[in-house]
Structure 1
Amino acid sequence: MPANRIEPVPDVVSDYVEPASPAGDVDKTCGLTSARVEQLRARFGRNVVDSAVRRTWWRTLEEVLREPMFLLLLAASAIYFVLGDVSEALTLLAFVAGIVFLTVFQSHRTAQVLDSLRELSAPRAQVLRDGQRQLVSAAELVPGDVVFVDEGARVPADGALTEAHELSVDESLLTGESVSVSKSALRADAPPEQAPDSQLFFGSMVVQGQGQMIVTATGPNTMLGRIGKSLTGITEARSPLQLETRTFVNRFALTAIALCLVLVVAYRWRSGEWLPGVLAGITLAMGILPEEIPVILTVFMALGARRIANEGVLTRRMSAIETLGQTSVLCVDKTGTLTQNRMSVRVLFAQGKRQIIDQNTQRIDEAYHELIEYLVLASEIEPVDPMERAFHETGRVGLAGTGRLHKDWSLVHEYALTPELPAMSHAWHTLEPGHHAVACKGAPEAVCALCHLGERETQTVLDHAAQMASGGLRVLGVAKAQHSHAAWPEKQHDFEFSFVGLVGLLDPVRPEVADAIAQCQAAGIRVVMITGDYPSTARAIATEVGIDGARIVTGGEVAAMDDVQLRDAIENVDTFARVKPEQKLRLVNAFRESGQVVAMTGDGVNDAPALKAAHIGIAMGLRGAEVAREVASLVLLRDDFAPIVSTIRLGRRIYANLVQAISYTVAVHIPMIAATMIPVLVGWPPMLAPVHIVFLQLVIDPVCSVVFENEPERANLMRLPPRRAGERLLSNRALAQGATAGAVAATLVVGLYAGLLTHGYPLPFARTLAFASLVVGNVALIFAIRALPQSGSRAHASERNRYLWIVLSITGVALVLLMTVPALARLFGLVALFGP
């Protein structure tokens, strides 16, 4: 036995499924009952192997208490106590408690959103319960469940195989061995040494074939759980936007430290006192530090992911939200994305004749019965694929009473479709002793090659196939063979196939696709169709949905091109047909190398490399392989094209609103910095104290993270070109505009304060009016930032931001109370301007 193979776990089946056999008392045709599932879940818990610590209130509170702003507030309170101003210190501590509560609430809410999104992205499993095949979260599996696994799926629990068809599994997560391992069903009389080859282990990836297993262990009792590995232990690297904002905040922090030192020294030089100078420095630091920016980024990404999920798209990597607005090329598959993936047999070709199948067809001519017979035999017994379902349905209707539906035959051997040979074969044991029937279906050119047709015959078949494909049909060839030897050939070419016919399937285009593609094109996004279908099929579909199909490049032509020729092709071609997975990867890389930001859809195991290579990989959630979903950035909760466009639209909106929020953060700190520094440097009495900064923070934080996040979409959002790759969050122009708006507000506030002091008004009165003007200035900056040119044209009048008016109303009420209630005004060192 190889050194890296897993040793069998003794009695692993008998521990969980009674009695001591792989099948136990589980009925493989019905599975467990719902009541039994609940009992087992109560006993064994959830099927989760996860070392990650879930966020709690206490953990969130601990993170908040380590924030620089909180530490500055505590330092300011301590200084007030030392100076003997107990009321000021207690007031500040009360505001500290309020800010901590709001921050913890907001952070925990954001974490809960992220946790709920992770729950949605959890692996799923096909399970048999109550006699029905169901799709459930893998975390809900229990020992004894009958689970189906197929190519591209991650094994959701430990289990014993009861059925296996050409099944091989990658167990490198457990063994470190990258070579896939073949698996076979466990027989009742199997020797013990066969057990490892009949066991599937949680976390392994199915790389080929299909199988059925009975779960023997879940969660921490699995092999993966016993060795303490976690599938979620790998943390995602920081995104470019996170790195940019972190650099931005660090620069602000360095500036704050330098200015604070200058202010402390200046205060000491003018007044001869250190503690008030340190207090002024703390006030300035609180006014400078843009601690809102990391919070803004986290909240925008989390709530943005939830908005996107509401559109039917799951965000697996938050960095994808940043990139959506930069998408310039969208590579899409045809089947199930542009089309409905609801196939029906439309054309049959056999014996030189052709019949069209539609709603008015009463019967299928006898000349096509053999074609339908072998189509059904070449399909799975219980098909999931819409194409094979269509074959079974046609056989059920068209072959009823003909004796060609072989319910008494048994499937004994399979040959899987491969990139090198796009055809598959099923070998059946018939009622005749030693006689086997072999049915094959696949790409017409591959079937012609298997039948060893001459050049002329092949060309005739391909001409018929091209004619059928020109009507937008998906075309397959069908062949048959007989086999009477004991040993099975290694490859399909060793059979003596004879050609049976062609079948054309209709997969209608989704009605909303043409409009969605038009929206992409208006937004400067190229939509490129990459399909494995015939060029004529691709051209027909491309024309119908609005993609340029005038020139089509095939996968064979891509393979023959050098890099220079391929770069020229991708600049002028929007439709690629007969493309293999490795060519799809090459196309994605070519688009990337040409400076495009690429989003790409895919669903199969072979699509995984291209999905990973694209800037934004988009996996199909319903029919996609688990490996495709794992490497993708986004997962479609329904296999449709329209949600992709909605997601791009939302990505642009989220980023535009994020720019506004950061611009506001920059602008709003400038008046606070000026109001703190200038009076001290000039020699006036300080205008602001820490408690004033705290009050302003209670306005700034909700404005940045709530108001701007809920800003409606701008009217011209999807008529703007994609954002340039590598473009900074705040361009020099946007930064200058925000700083200018803040400087204007600062000038007005400081000018008012200076004017009042110059004209002999009492200090409390001057401070009160200046502080009120500063609050009003902060509010005015909201509208100034929303009106900046980079924000785009205004949203429709019907789309109002109700959160803006809620924040403004609360701020207005708080300011009025501050100006009218003497006791409240005194806590802030102000005077009541109105009232008794």
Structure 2
Amino acid sequence: MPTDQATPLREAPTLQGLSAAEAARRLAAEGPNLLPGSAPKSMLAIVRDVVTEPMFLMLLAAGGIYLALGDRAEAMFLLGFVFVVIGITLAQERKTQRALESLRDLSAPRALVIRDGQEQRIAGREVVRGDLLVLHEGDRIAADALLIDGQIEVDESLLTGEAVPVTKLPAAAGTMQTMQAPAPGGDGTPGLFASTVVTRGVGIAEVYATAAHTAVGRIGADLATTVQPPSALQQDSRRLVRNLGTGAVVLAFAQVLLGWWWNGQPLLESLLSGIALAMAILPEEIPVILTVFLALGAWRISRQKVLTRVVTAVEALGAITVLAVDKTGTLTINRMAVAELASADEHFRPEGASELPEHFHLLTEFAMLATPGDPFDPMEKAIQQFGHQWLQGTEHVHDGREPEFEYALSGEILAMTRVFASDEPGVHLLATKGAPEAVADLCHLDAGQRDAIRRQVEAMAERGLRVLGVARGRWKGAAPAPDQSPPWPQSQHDFDFDFLGLVALADPPRPEVPAALAECRRAGVRVIMMTGDHPATARAIARQVGLSERPEIITGAELETLDDAALRERLRHVDLCARLQPRHKLRLVQLLRASGEVVAMTGDGVNDAPALKAADVGIAMGERGTDVAREAAALVLLDDSFARIVAAIRQGRRIDGNIRKATRFVFAVHAPIIALAMVPTLLHWPVLLLPVHIVLLELLIDPACSIVFEAEAEDSDTMERAPRPVSDSPFAFVPLLWSVLQGLGMAAVLLAGQAWLVHQGWHPDQGRAVVFSTLVLGVLLLILANRDLSRPALWGVTDPNPWLWRMATGMGMLLAAVLGIPWLRRLMGLALPDSQGLVVAASLLALCLAWLELVRLAGRLLGASGKAGRGTARPPERLRP
């Protein structure tokens, strides 16, 4: 249906807006323009969360038991450890919050304002009362304001529940000083409201309320905050931790009974043994791994100029199998220029020309009339720039001439018509541009004329040019009622047009795209172009950048005729989709996902929002994209470069791989701790591990998980293997089985060493010192072994990781302190090892290393190492050629 055209804007330079100094003063006095939301956790809240964790409740219980036994030193050590862990947790939380805050600063809505007479783009939080907002289609309004110039349509469904956009008209002069706060909804009002969306037109508005004083802010904090549901990975981890927690309680209770009844230990000592076992079983590092890795991963991706708006989308990056991309601005540089004009059999190319031939003046004039005077679209900008360059000073340039009515581009007619008053009373001038076949249809050309135009278009499109048809017309409408516009026809087909010719525009490919596409192919990621352009243009660009050599293309018209089964079969053989409408993109994305693919989708317009939302990873354009598209997407490209998408996929795979490495390490390192806490009780041996030993081991395990593995560089073959299947969880049975096998083998070695020491009559403190020292150094072996399953553990010692050797140094210092400081040695129940003890420890460590190598070789032989964390299995190939 036709809609009224926006009224002309006053020139922005004539509006001064606030001065920079006054804006800064108001920002300081009234605060930032932020809606009520969730504040970062306070230190007190973090401390409360820490001390209510099961691990630390057990520490407190163990400390109380030591006090009851009269062992004040052990009690103070355990209770002091609570404060150490609180400090570590605070540091990790702060590091995570800093990363998230930097992302929030990047992702905050931005506003175009006029200050000191100049348009400038600022963060939405910096908008103040009195600012002049310049609004375009697709913008999300930053604050409550009054429209003072232009005419726009706004979607206010956030406030009113009505899905139909409402028309906004400028307020009368002086309204700001006398008005009462307007209410949302209703056509013809000047009131604009924060968080609503401009769906059409251009306007200028003056801000009268910000932050909590806006209509949205008054509704309450809940409107501005959203609770992100847990991701699949988080749900899996919580389920696993919950199950292990239940098992820990059961086994700890059994340990207490066995120690008290089976071994005849005092009840309090049996309780300590049970607490130690429960602490050994609980993998409390898993939630830390997910929180830290995903938050810092999003921050690392932002350094690649890709903003992560939804942190959990980082998970999906490593599993992407299909990348659906637009052509303009993503594969090309989005700097359109008119490259050729065609009229009948005549052609004009501006390169090397000194003037525009006379018979092309009319074509250029009506192409300009069919285009807004201050357009946002790069193609329309190119048309206006071309016209001003070649027709400046002639009667064919009509700057400031505004249409009386406009027929917008629609899915039914891929052309737009602007209607102007003419010098002849009652007669209107029509200017139309759009898809050549649509414009030819409006001109009611015969088959021969259409065929000639089609051949011209195909020849231009084969050279990668985007082609538009241009037509003009005259219409004498029925006499209007007094003070009313003529009764405009319902459709553009009700007019008569004369075809003037073709305008071809060029948008060269980005130079980095061919290499990025080649990297996608090596990584097993299929790239599909989804564009509204002519099929031949899409094919030409695809050939230039190396996206596809296959000539077959699906068009929007063909897509309409296919059911899902037929379309799925066509997609097996087609990489290019052209002449698509937004609803076509949405259907393609949904079909790909239903076929088992993990889909990333790029988009920039308001109409792309449904497809971006439907994709596993929606990717919006940061430079040319609308606010609506950015808010519907999970990622935002800050410079619109396709290569950034590939860099994000690389980073996503790195993060996914490091999560798997850290998870393998956690389960591998807990296995020997559990065995050393449980088995001595069953065999009537002296207790090997007490809570004091386990808390020291936690001092090593926590930073190894959250710091060392997070800083791991990507594997050399990160982009040489297929995407991991979505079902390939790091908490799946097979990868965890191989991790536990690593730890159980180490446990067997250490328990065998302890049996030999007991048989040789070593004092329990001496034996415990040898086993505990070997276990501490074994933690370092497990870090090295799980960095890369494809090669021996010690081969990776030279691989760069800034935190690995700091961690190793810390381990050495901790072990030296425990063994070298007399009071700490007594506290831990250890004895200073002699030379024989050092030989035994070194021998046990060598056997542990040999076991880890044996597990690695067995895993490679059986193909399980890939399953255990490398994601080498190829995803479903249902729509793959």
What's the TM-score once normalised by structure 2's chain length?
Answer: 0.88
CA distance in 2, matches of 1:796, 1:563: 49
Superposition pairs of residues 141-290 of structure 1, within 5 angstroms: 141-165=127-151, 167-188=152-173, 197-228=189-220, 230-269=222-261, 270-290=263-283
Give yes or no for contact 1:820–1:834 (8 Å, CA) kept in 2. Answer: no
Shift of 1:483: 5.4
Shift of 1:482: 4.2
Percent identity of paired positions between Structure 1 and Structure 2:
44
Give yes or no for contact 1:33–1:130 (8 Å, CA) kept in 2. Answer: yes
Match of 1:291 among 271, 284, 289: 284
Higher mean displacement: 451-460 or 35-44: 451-460
Q: Deviations over 1:55-75 (max 9, x none)?
A: 322222222222111111111
Q: Does 2:110 align with 1:124?
A: yes
Aligned counterpart, 2:805: 805
Superposition pairs of residues 86-485 of structure 1, within 5 angstroms: 86-165=72-151, 167-188=152-173, 197-228=189-220, 230-269=222-261, 270-358=263-351, 360-407=352-399, 409-428=401-420, 437-482=429-474
Letter in 2 for 1:51: G
Shift of 1:418: 2.3
Give yes or no for contact 1:696–1:775 (8 Å, CA) kept in 2. Answer: yes
Letter in 1 for 2:165: S
Aligned counterpart, 2:48: 62
Shift of 1:751: 2.1
Shift of 1:99: 1.2
Letter in 2 for 1:279: L
Higher mean displacement: 255-264 or 125-134: 125-134
CA distance in 1, matches of 2:714, 2:33: 41
Q: Deviations over 1:221-278 (max 9, x none)?
A: 1111122255432212111111111111112111111110110001111225211111
CA distance in 2, matches of 1:312, 1:62: 36
Shift of 1:196: 6.4
Higher mean displacement: 672-681 or 27-36: 27-36
CA distance in 1, matches of 2:17, 2:366: 31
Give yes or no for contact 1:603–1:628 (8 Å, CA) kept in 2. Answer: yes
Q: Deviations over 1:658-706 (max 9, x none)?
A: 1110011001001111111111221112111211111100100111111
Letter in 2 for 1:651: G
CA distance in 2, matches of 1:319, 1:795: 33
CA distance in 2, matches of 1:514, 1:339: 11
Give yes or no for contact 2:520–2:527 (8 Å, CA) kept in 1. Answer: yes
CA distance in 1, matches of 2:209, 2:694: 57
Q: Does 2:688 align with 1:687?
A: yes
1:487 partner SS:
coil
Go from structure 1 to structure 2 and tell me whether the alpha carbon gap of 1:349 and 1:438 turns closer, same or farther (over 3 Å shift).
same
CA distance in 2, matches of 1:72, 1:798: 39
Shift of 1:216: 1.8
Give yes or no for contact 2:304–2:644 (8 Å, CA) kept in 1. Answer: yes
Q: Deviations over 1:80-124 (max 9, x none)?
A: 111111111111222221111001210222122112212211211
CA distance in 2, matches of 1:321, 1:707: 19
Letter in 1 for 2:192: L
CA distance in 2, matches of 1:199, 1:829: 75
Go from structure 1 to structure 2 and tell me whether the alpha carbon gap of 1:488 and 1:459 turns closer, same or farther (over 3 Å shift).
farther
Shift of 1:49: 1.3
Letter in 2 for 1:280: S
Shift of 1:814: 1.6
Shift of 1:782: 1.2
Name the count of aligned residue pairs: 808
CA distance in 1, matches of 2:762, 2:476: 111
Shift of 1:481: 3.3
Letter in 1 for 2:220: G
Shift of 1:434: 6.8
Aligned counterpart, 1:741: 742
Aligned counterpart, 2:535: 535
Give yes or no for contact 2:784–2:796 (8 Å, CA) kept in 1. Answer: no
Aligned counterpart, 1:825: 825
2:572 partner SS:
helix
2:164 partner SS:
coil
CA distance in 2, matches of 1:774, 1:310: 38
Shift of 1:487: 1.8
Shift of 1:770: 1.3
Give yes or no for contact 1:50–1:232 (8 Å, CA) kept in 2. Answer: yes
1:55 partner SS:
coil
Higher mean displacement: 496-505 or 800-809: 496-505
Output the aligned Cα RMSD: 2.5
CA distance in 2, matches of 1:796, 1:372: 66
Higher mean displacement: 780-789 or 292-301: 780-789
Q: Does 2:714 align with 1:713?
A: yes
CA distance in 2, matches of 1:171, 1:409: 31
Aligned counterpart, 2:844: none
Higher mean displacement: 330-339 or 715-724: 715-724
Higher mean displacement: 728-737 or 794-803: 794-803
Shift of 1:794: 11
Shift of 1:349: 1.3
Letter in 1 for 2:68: V
Letter in 1 for 2:530: I
2:347 partner SS:
strand
Shift of 1:392: 2.2
Higher mean displacement: 730-739 or 629-638: 730-739
Letter in 2 for 1:301: L
Superposition pairs of residues 614-633 of structure 1, within 5 angstroms: 614-633=615-634
Shift of 1:188: 4.1
Higher mean displacement: 200-209 or 556-565: 200-209
Give yes or no for contact 1:528–1:575 (8 Å, CA) kept in 2. Answer: yes
CA distance in 2, matches of 1:577, 1:799: 46
Q: Deviations over 1:286-313 (max 9, x none)?
A: 1110000000011110011011111111
Q: Deviations over 1:25-79 (max 9, x none)?
A: x986232221121122223321111232333222222222221111111111111
Higher mean displacement: 520-529 or 413-422: 413-422
2:224 partner SS:
coil
Give yes or no for contact 2:785–2:792 (8 Å, CA) kept in 1. Answer: no
1:271 partner SS:
coil
CA distance in 2, matches of 1:409, 1:577: 34
Go from structure 1 to structure 2 and tell me whether the alpha carbon gap of 1:437 and 1:618 turns closer, same or farther (over 3 Å shift).
same
Q: Does 2:545 align with 1:545?
A: yes
1:718 partner SS:
coil
Match of 2:21 among 24, 31, 35: 35
Higher mean displacement: 494-503 or 721-730: 494-503
- In structure 1, stretches of 5+ residues that fail to align are 1-22
Shift of 1:776: 1.1
- In structure 2, stretches of 5+ residues that fail to align are 1-8, 478-484, 836-881
Q: Deviations over 1:177-205 (max 9, x none)?
A: 22322222234499999996221111212
What's the TM-score once normalised by structure 1's chain length?
Answer: 0.92
